Structure 1
Amino acid sequence: MSTTAPRPQLRRRSLLGATALMVGGLSACSIETGDDDAASGGTADGFAFAFDPETTDSTQLLWMDSGDLKAVFIGAVIEEFGKQFPDVSTQYDGSGWDQVNQVVPLGIRNGSAPDVFALPQNVPAETAINEGWVQPLDDVLPDFATWKAGFPETALINGVHVFDGKTYSWPLNSTRRLDITQYISHAAAEAAGISVPVEDVSTWDDLRSLAREITTAGTPGVLSTADHLDIVVGNLANTAGWLGNSDGMNMKTGRFEYSSPEYLQALEFVLALVDDGSFVPGFLTLKDADARAQFPTGLAGISLNGPWDISQWEQDAPDFEYSILPLPSPDGSDYTIPFRETGANMAWLYADTPNLDAAAAAIEFMGSVDGQRAMIELSDGFLVSTIEEANTSADQAQLNDRAALVADLATRYMRACPQFEIRNEEAGKVTLKLQASDPSISATIEGIFTGQITDAEAALADLDSRLDEEMEKAFEAAAADGASVDYSELQFPNWDPTTDYTADDYAALEG
């Protein structure tokens, strides 16, 4: 798509660096989740629920989130629950973020929210807790202590899952996965006269040139949507040496750095792709689910998205051939992407649900070793658990070679960065005081691409300033309430971005 909006003001900076890998296509596989004859309260291929239909008031189990890859697991669990307990009406709604953003707040106001839901994108966890939308799991799950002990010590984090000593959510899967990789359609590449499989797109210029060639041949070169443009820019910035994590904070300095030179370089690069006419027309209004479905049919030549797309393509378009490559860097140099191992795809229990027993039973199973193993197998290995026993005990014969590739890429390029929430057990008290900054990074990036924001550097600097100010206020408020926290604890001077930050590093810092 070419845009007539005025170009944001950007400063050119020196460029830094990636290498590339390729994989061929293999078919997906799945596991059985039980049959209609499963005994009430029993186990269907490992799906066991601590639920007694004779002693409960639960009449339904409604679970709502954004869908995508996790739906193959959550949907199967909810369906199996309904089979085992036919007196409980079950429904899994994974129809996308737009629905979550609209339906959940409306349901809260009307007292009819789903029993379990993902938080709307503009509602921080602390807001949902302070407003009474959600309730902790401690006194709800049938055997909470055993369930919690099954997670690694660092999996349930203060200020992320745990607030004021209560556990409100849990990590459905690990966050050590690349949010953005290159998926290059062989059909589009061949139509442009490019040999397949595509094995090397290791610099930004390589990607720009490839996108131009594919576009010239009649297929838009690049597919990305407004839903994750900020993630594309952020990950590309990491390839240029940016130390910002998924929240935009540099954990060496404890400051937000969206206006850094590397981030501005990455933003300028993506804007250049748009100005080339290489982006899919209408990309700013295109939804992820539609983009995913249309990519195998020729919507674009290169998709910039995550591994959750692969399972859907293999189910709906098993003959679709494509290469999988990591993101390129400015000059082809190697790089690392810092990430927060907070877990992904968190779900929250509605505070006023009348179906507490059913919801608790489903949650307890999903967070168990058996449930996590089923998640890995149902997702063909594309979802990885924070519970290592689940990863190692999963049936390897049921996993997909593409899953192994993207897992290897994640291991190669991603490094766990320091987390204040692990450093200080009272971090949750800061998070509860934190106010959301508006506009957010997602809204700011979208505004830059639509032309509503014409000075990108100024807008990003303003965002950094607002985020830093809100963080400082949250620390001050938490300390005033008696929390033993200090703003300096956001700084980790011993962090080496090329390696995982470990328990030994935390200990050395405090020593």
Structure 2
Amino acid sequence: MGQHHRILGTRHGAARVGRDISRRRFIGGSSAGVLAAVLASCTGGGQSSEENAAAGGESSGPGGPLQWWDQFRPLTEMFERDLFGPYMEEHPDVTIERRQMDAPDLGQALQVGRRSSQLPDVHSVAGLGSSPAALVSEGWFQPIGSHADFEGSPVADQIFDGIHRFDGEIYSFAPFSGRRHEAAPWLNTELLAEADVDPEQSPATWDDFRAAARRVQDGTGDGVHGVLIPTQDPIYLDALVHRLATAAGAPGPGAIDWATGDYIHDSQPYLDAVEFLVSLQADGVVHPASASMGPRDARARWAAGEAAIYPWGPWFIGGLLVEEPEAVERGVGVWHVPTPETTRNFVYSSPAPGVFWVSSESDQPELAADLLLQMTTREFQAKLAAAMDQPPALLDVVAEADVHPTYAQNVSFFEEDVRIGPVPEVATPGVWRVLAEMRDIHPNLGEIVQAVLTGSTDDVAGDLRRYKDELSAERERALEVVQGEGVEVDLDAWVFSNWDPATDYDQQAYAER
């Protein structure tokens, strides 16, 4: 999830099948049998939007059925009812087949599909573990801007160089809003009421949050815990700590000091954010099985009433309505993200990333682009809001959409708490080539936090400093590589002297930089 995409866990069956496919078979396997094995592990049923037609093997259009893969389980019904169905009715010669998978399974299926030339026409990038910029540079996708008028669409002002547009060509767009984060405390209001904690009153500070969690722990029955932190997933922890650090005063997104361009993973706000999570464990309010949970596992535990508070993203309630609707009926609330002091800082996000991309292997790019363009209309955006996943790109449609009041409240909190920060690759086209060249550094932020919370290390400051230093060195190496290829970019690309912490860094700010 992430730039963050949604962060999804892996169900037991899917994880087992994934483990049974060895790395050698996964990387080298080009047979349809390996791809079928990966797809068989999908937990979303792997159903096409027109199952009967697909079962009959009928094709439509010059390239056969349009294949679409993604990880958005809460959006399944909405996609089929409000996007694919109407499009196929209007275009009788078109058939669209969709597969929904958990993110790890999707990443495996895409890797195997690329090796065997069986990629779908349209897919998301969840589970691939690479940035879209890197995937563009490796030739995964083809541009869509010449096939459909995204520049004239309602989301045109949210299309950015280095995120959606590369070398002057539009490859993707943002169907969702960047004004969101993954650290909203979601509440079991029934448990909070039992502990006499007001779900309508957000704790003002981290200490207030800790006190509320202790009251829940002490004021409810045996087996109920204050907070869930799914420590098994470093990606979840990475996102959570980034958000808490900006709430503690760090610039963002990206853990970069915009005055100097330096990485700041070892700065005081990041140390404070990790210490806050450690303090929750020291208070004894974190669910004791958290170390063995991924985000989806944790949501199921929350839905079962094992804990009262779970920090996660806006898609939380949409996922509940699909898989644990009884938890929503029982009572669900949400708070502002807490901050260290009563004087609140903003949480910073990037502009929303591209989500759906057209494969370079697709022989139906015009059809794929036209279908994607339908997602930019106000009508579809309102239906997207009603699915209660990530907030739609056109945030104002939430007010007119059929959404749960708690979802609407969460979106209103985002509008108060979140600002859009600078993104170097938008300002300087060469940056995305640097990012594509950079190799992953391990342990990364999420892995360091995981080690801290599981007791594998207690040198938080030292580990964060080493990560920052190694990441800085890797950026310098990547810069030298792309500069040697004639790309004009240097460390100044990461400096934004006109950044105003209180306002969005928008297209005008980039122009005035």
TM range (shorter): 0.7 to 0.9
Amino acid at match of 1:297: A
Aligned pairs (5 A) from 1:420-439:
420-439=424-443
Q: Tell me the distance in 1 between the aligned counterparts of 2:95 and 2:457.
A: 47
Instruction: Please say if 1:67 is aligned against 2:72.
Output: yes
The superposition leaves residues 238-273 of structure 1 with CA deviations (integer Å, 9 ceiling, x where unpaired) of: 22212231x222323212211111111110110222
> Which range is displaced more, 93-102 or 149-158?
149-158
Give the 3 Å change call, closer, same or farther, for CA 197–276 of structure 1 in structure 2: closer
- Spell out, residue by residue over 1:92-124, the C-alpha distance to the aligned partner (whole angstroms, 9 max, x if none): 333322212322112212222333222234222
- Is 2:230 the counterpart of 1:221? no
Quick check: 1:150–1:369 contact (8 Å CA) kept in 2? no
Structure 2 contact 226–287 (Cα < 8 Å) conserved: yes
Distance 1:221 1:91, change over 3 A: farther
Asked whether the equivalents of residues 254 and 490 of structure 1 are also in contact (C-alpha less than 8 Å), the reply is yes
Structure 1 pair 215/73, CA: closer, same or farther in 2 (3 Å)?
same
Of 371, 375, 391, 1:366 maps to 375
After alignment, is 259-268 or 478-487 more displaced? 478-487
Q: Which amino acid is 1:243 matched to?
A: P
Output the amino acid matched with 1:115.
D
In 2: Cα distance, 1:494 partner to 1:263 partner: 23
In the TM superposition, 1:381-392 aligns within 5 A as 383-385=391-393, 388=394
Once the 2 structures are TM-superposed, how far is the Cα of residue 202 of structure 1 from its aligned partner?
1.7
**Matched residue type, 1:335:** N
Aligned partners of 1:54 and 1:95: how far apart in 2?
A: 23
State the shift of 1:471 in Å.
Answer: 2.5
Report the alpha carbon displacement of residue 276 of structure 1 after superposing the two structures with TM: 3.3
Q: 2:274 aligns with which of 267, 270, 276?
A: 267
Q: Which residue of the other structure, out of 319, 331, 335, is the alignment partner of 1:325?
A: 335
* 2:189 aligned with 1:182: no
Asked if structure 2 preserves the Cα contact closer than 8 Å seen for 1:79 and 1:91, the reply is: no
2:493 equivalent to 1:485:
no
Q: Which residue of 1 aligns with 2:40?
A: none
Cα distance change of structure 1 residues 249 and 348 upon mapping to structure 2, 3 Å threshold: same
What is residue 99 of structure 1 aligned with on the other side?
A: 105
AA matched with 2:158: A
2:250 is aligned, of 238, 242, 248, to 242
The one-letter amino acid paired with 2:138 is E
Q: Mark the CA change 1:55 to 1:306 in structure 2 (over 3 Å): closer, same or farther.
A: closer
Tell me which residue corresponds to 1:309.
316
1:157 partnered with 2:160: yes
CA contact (8 A) 1:185 1:323 kept: yes
Q: Of the candidates 319, 336, 360, which is equivalent to residue 351 of structure 1?
A: 360
TM-score by length of 2: 0.77
* Displacement after TM superposition at 1:162 (Å): 2.0
Please report the TM-score for the alignment, with normalisation by the length of structure 1. 0.77
Structure 2: gaps of 5 or more residues: 1-48, 51-57
Does 1 or 2 have the higher relative contact order (CA < 8 Å, sep 6+)?
1
Aligned to 1:43: none
Q: Is the 8 A contact 2:134 2:433 kept in 1?
A: no
Instruction: Give 1:174 deviation, angstroms.
Output: 1.3
Report the alpha carbon displacement of residue 55 of structure 1 after superposing the two structures with TM: 8.0
Q: Is the contact between residue 154 and residue 422 of structure 1 (CA under 8 Å) also seen in structure 2? A: no
User: For residues 162 and 435 of structure 1, what CA distance do their matches in structure 2 show?
Assistant: 22
SS in 2 for 1:256: coil
What residue number does 1:44 align with?
none
1:375 is aligned to 384
Rounded to whole Å, the distance in 2 between the matches of 1:349 and 1:198 is 43
1:483, distance to aligned residue in structure 2 (A): 2.9
Structure 2 SS opposite 1:302? strand
Shift of 1:151: 5.2
For the pair 1:258 / 2:265, whether they are aligned, the reply is yes
| CA contact 1:181–1:325 (8 Å) conserved in 2 | yes
Opposite residue 402 of structure 1, the aligned amino acid is T
| Equivalent AA in structure 2 for residue 384 of structure 1 | P
User: What amino acid is aligned across from residue 434 of structure 1 in structure 2?
Assistant: M
Q: Could you tell me how far 1:425 is from its partner in structure 2?
A: 4.4
Residue of structure 2 equivalent to 1:31: none
Name the residue aligned to 1:109: 115
More helix by share: 2
Indicate conservation of the 8 Å contact 1:78/1:92, yes or no.
no
Deviations 1:191-236 (A, max 9, x none): 3x32444524222122222223323433021123225122222222
Q: CA separation in 2, counterparts of 1:504 and 1:166? A: 21
- Cα distance in 2, alignment partners of residues 138 and 397 from structure 1: 29
On the 8 A contact 1:158/1:428 being kept in 2, the answer is no
